[in-house]
Amino acid sequence: MVNIGDKFYVKAADAGIQAKGECGGAVTAILKYLLENKMVDAVLAMGRGKDIYDGVPTLVTDPAKISEISGSLHCAPLLQSKFLHKYLDDAKGLKIAVVGVGCDAMAIKKMAEKGVINLDNLVLIGLNCGGTLPPVKAQEMIQKFYEVNPQDVVKEEIAKGNFIIETKDHQHKEIKIDELEELGYGRRANCRRCEVKIPRVMDIACGNWGVIGSDAGRATFVEVCSDLGAELIDGAIKANAVIATEPIPKGIEIRDSIEKSMLKLAEKWQKHDFVDDAKKEEYWLQQFSKCIKCLGCIKVCPVCLCADCKIESTEPYWFETNKYPVSPKLQFTRAAHLASDCVNCGQCEDVCPVEIPLSTFFQQSGKDYERIFKKFDELTSL
């Protein structure tokens, strides 16, 4: 019997899936099991577009095609929750298995809290995440530091603190992420500051951290995080869809150590990126004076879900020429409205045409509000 908190090394029982899938094909096998047994109607995951830098939200309903979405894509950041909301009617009509990382997990939970999405119709498969890279910058980085044509890269991964590439002529090259980031490359800024490395708010959390011994590179470390997750893994084992063994105790220690190291690094980057209190007002007023009010940040935000935009309701002439509110007001209003909701996905910053560091602003604002409310709770409990 599988229970919440149980941990396993998991691999596909099918030799073909094992060979083709990432880390023993555990996630692919679990998704195939869900579809074959009609536990879900569809799987939403990231598929590869024209190359490894191009990720495409992909809905799969045929179990035979599930292997088409296997493999990692660190250079193609997407947010499955937004796709789920915009194109799949918030899972109201379909039972869907969603494969995603920490910001996906947080966004889906926020959507559920707002009554927008139906969690009963979702099976959440979490992927451990050390961060993603902006695709254009990643290609520039590969050209400059790896001295390789980015289009010759057929596989990439982040492992043991290195960004590793494999080319079509079987060259393997790797450079430490820390070195790349000190030079202005590497992971997206919001990913460097992220505090959700293992998405335990999903039903299961999967990754390669802590898989050692003969299973290294051939199995996935799976942590069971909910009753549904326990039922899923128990069923997959009994149906011989996957093979699960107890993890090596040292592997558990290594996984915990990796997570702690990443969280410590995230804290370091927060201190590096966050603006000093004494300079905040001047700095953000200067940044927001660049805002052209394209509203791209609102459109991509996964937790900006009001049917009637609160900002528009307070500014009745929002879209009329020369009657926009003054530049900084848009983001300050959004910060007040979304202070406890921002999931640090970085989508707003990705689309900003004038390169305002929006994810930094919202994450720091959220931390400020969190600190204020904590202080308030301490005072009122006296």
What string of DSSP letters covers 56-79?
EEEEE--GGGGGGG-S--TTS---
Please give the C-alpha separations between residue 340 and each of 26, 142, 303, 343, 369, in angstroms, as whole numbers.
Answer: 34, 37, 10, 9, 8
Q: Which amino acid is at 186?
A: G
In angstroms, rounded to a whole number, what is the distance separating the alpha carbons of residues 73 and 51? Answer: 10
Please give the C-alpha separations between residue 226 and each of 84, 135, 232, 275, in angstroms, as whole numbers.
Answer: 21, 34, 10, 38
Using a 10 angstrom Cβ sphere, with 0-12 exposed, 13-18 middle and 19 or more buried, the burial of residue 376 is exposed
In angstroms, rounded to a whole number, what is the distance separating the alpha carbons of residues 257 and 209? Answer: 10
| Closest C-alpha to 198, from 219, 222, 216 | 222
Say which range, 121-130, 225-234, 284-293, has the weakest mean pLDDT. 284-293
pLDDT tens readout for residues 328-375: 677 788 877 787 889 999 999 999 999 999 999 999 988 888 888 787
In angstroms, rounded to a whole number, what is the distance separating the alpha carbons of residues 164 and 153? Answer: 10
Q: Percentage of the chain surpassing pLDDT 70?
A: 93
Taking a C-beta distance cutoff of 8 angstroms, is the pair 150, 142 a contact?
Answer: yes
CB-based contacts of 132, cutoff 8 Å, min separation 6? 74, 75, 76, 77, 101, 187, 188, 191
| Closest C-alpha to 151, from 277, 51, 288 | 51
Would the pLDDT of 319 be above 60? no
CB atoms within 10 A of CB 227: 12
What is the rounded end-to-end Cα distance, in angstroms, of the chain?
45
> Where would I find the beta strands (DSSP E) of 177-298?
204-207, 220-224, 242-245
Q: Is the dihedral of CA 263, 192, 223, 258 positive or negative?
A: negative
Higher pLDDT, 165 or 293: 165
What are the two backbone dihedrals, phi and then psi, of residue 16, each rounded to the nearest 5 degrees?
-65, -45
**pLDDT for 323:** 52
Would the pLDDT of 152 be above 80? yes
Tokens 């609160």 sit at which residue?
310
Q: Which amino acid is at 79?
A: L
Residue 45 β-bridge partners: 58
For residue 11, name the pLDDT band (cuts at 50, 70, 90). Answer: very high
Would the pLDDT of 305 be above 90? no
For residue 115, name the pLDDT band (cuts at 50, 70, 90). Answer: confident
pTM for this model (two decimals): 0.90
- DSSP SS3 for 357: coil
Task: Provide the token pair at 138.
Answer: 């990643």
In angstroms, rounded to a whole number, what is the distance separating the alpha carbons of residues 302 and 322? Answer: 29
Instruction: Report the mean per-residue pLDDT for the chain.
Output: 89
Taking a C-beta distance cutoff of 8 angstroms, is the pair 99, 80 a contact?
Answer: yes
In angstroms, rounded to a whole number, what is the distance separating the alpha carbons of residues 45 and 24? Answer: 18
